[in-house]
Structure 1
């Protein structure tokens, strides 16, 4: 049975470090890191994520404000709000929760966030700097994955990392992060997607296999090399009448069979998910430090 890579316990350790950093900043500079989150519409998954983010900020001693806008909000209203946050010194980080309603140009809104406050690290300026190896921020989910690997002594250096999924939030930035010529990276990365041919032939070559497909159970045991490390990024709700909530959370990996093949695997829930919010806090603290000291 594979070793479980517990993201929840690592997350708590890092959040304690963030809280200590917040206290030091308040003591030395009378500054409290602040994060503004914007939620448009009533997507249940987004609402849960934003609520968990706010709870984490509160526990770390940060200022956290959530702005809930109706789904009918115009793009102009959203752009005006971003402009307001960019100039508000109380907020060192801005989180624009995705997805946005269809009538809003997502790229234009994300471009409106100041790169200095882009704690999700999805602004083109910060992604370009990430590719060059000098971004002050690390994309939240990829950064969380990297920390899980390093904390459990699975250094990606020299390893073949196969990533299934090319999203702008996980797959692409994770590939950029892990191929950097620096400690904690130096991996050989293969990116797979919906047009990839002979996918199992590629996934079976992976020393580290990352599943970010958005499809439950899409990575099966016959696709996994024996002794590999499997990172399951997926969070999917499946109907379950035995649960009070009416559903259960599963990842993109067929967990039980894959656990018999892999050396280590992240559980869902309790694996990558907690680390995503934690890295958002780390980036917000970094943004606050930059506002005081510069880069």
Structure 2
């Protein structure tokens, strides 16, 4: 399977077809599309809210600034660098991050999000994204021939650190400052287990990295499909059979698009904090030998023999990418 053509999982397909495509995606690209997910209406409403927030004056957004303890809230341009191999870079984006626990702290959210009707939309979006991940986890467990609840039992709702939504805004690049080397989001792998990415208005820029061929491939923005990718946790769990695929956001080639905002929404599914990052009991990986490439050596800091928990790994990755 080539990175130039990502697999598509149609949720209305035959379960055997879904499992077969999921195995192909997990062991090759690490990225795939999901169609017929029934989240189109909710995602459109979420994008409307995101735009309303990001177009606020900076001083208003700074009232909800993120902090080094929770990493929740508003993240202004210059406060995040996802490429932890190059500390001189900054991501040309701003973001607002909400963990599942934000649903219990409605009064701490910006008015745009805490408004009764909007808050209900956020709650529904959180739950339906979570349910979709659980659905995919069950298929994955069957694919790897382990207990059907193996993954879902390690992602219980209402347990720390909790799933998270990140609203993302990539501002337009002023023509005077145009530079084809501008990175909107640095090269990185995701820290959890699964990420759902919703793209908007067919705005391009997302790229995935083929670690074998050492080259980048564009990911087409499809409003009707969710882009799904595996994170670091699955590289631990499968001894490297599933790669935590590196990706980034660059300026699109189209000059007109460079002068327009790009919006996306990421839903991060992470295991409960005390979950051990030990290999799954699957015969498919029983004899698999994990040889770490340069990215894995940098990211998976477990050379001292200590078995990390999902919570420890998440905190380690977050502390490297946020600047205060």
| TM-score (structure 1 length as normaliser) | 0.26
Comparing both structures, which one devotes a greater share of its residues to helix? 1
TM-score under structure 2 normalisation?
Answer: 0.25
